[in-house]
Amino acid sequence: MTTNTTNKPPIWFWIVSVIAVIWNAMGVNAYLQQAYNTESYRAMYSEEQLEIAASMPTWITAAFAIAVFAGAIAAIGLLLRKSWAVKLWLVSLIAVIVQMGYVLMKGYESDMIMTIMIIAFALLFFWFSRMSEAKGWLS
């Protein structure tokens, strides 16, 4: 009896998947700190930055929530090797583009490196999930 190991993902699949979980857990933490206006959240930003965040339209805050929670669930799905993770990565990517597109179009003085990183990671994780599905690593 032979075992089919062609669908077994390589070690780097697991490394990227764990990074995805950590990255998206940080996003969920950032969203919850902002949503609950925690002391540690207020300590990280200037009064002007806090006012900008507080004055964001509700739909942008919703896009933030969708981006991080869809991404976190998608990352867990990736670890579980589930193909539904691809759809959630797409939802997360679209929400990231909406949120960060708004921030960029409004010209807010934000950390441009972090904004680019958020978009890049969203694109990377979506691409990685599609590639993983195409290679048969997700079921």
C-beta of residue 130 within 8 angstroms of C-beta of residue 87: no
Residue 2 belongs to a domain: no
pTM: 0.91
Instruction: Give the pLDDT score at 106.
Output: 85
Domain range for residue 81?
11-134
Q: Mind listing the pLDDT tens digit for each residue in 4-56?
A: 446 899 999 999 999 999 999 999 999 999 999 999 999 998 898 889 889 99
pLDDT of 6 reads: 64
Question: Do the domain assignments include residue 139?
Answer: no
Half-sphere exposure of 54 (CA within 13 A, CB side): 12
Across the range 64-85, mean pLDDT stands at 98
Whether 129 shows a pLDDT value over 90: the answer reads: yes
Residue 1's pLDDT is what? 43
Give residue-wise pLDDT tens across range 106-127: 887 667 889 999 999 999 999 9
∠ CA 112-119-49, nearest 5°, is 40
Q: How many CB atoms lie within 10 A of CB 77?
A: 21
* 41 domain residue, yes or no: yes
What domain count does the chain have?
1
- Percent pLDDT > 70 in the chain is 94
Q: Domain for residue 3, yes or no?
A: no
Domain annotation covers residue 6: no
Q: Classify residue 71: in a domain, yes or no.
A: yes
**Residue 34 contacts residue 53 (beta carbons within 8 Å):** yes
Question: Has residue 36 been placed in a domain?
Answer: yes
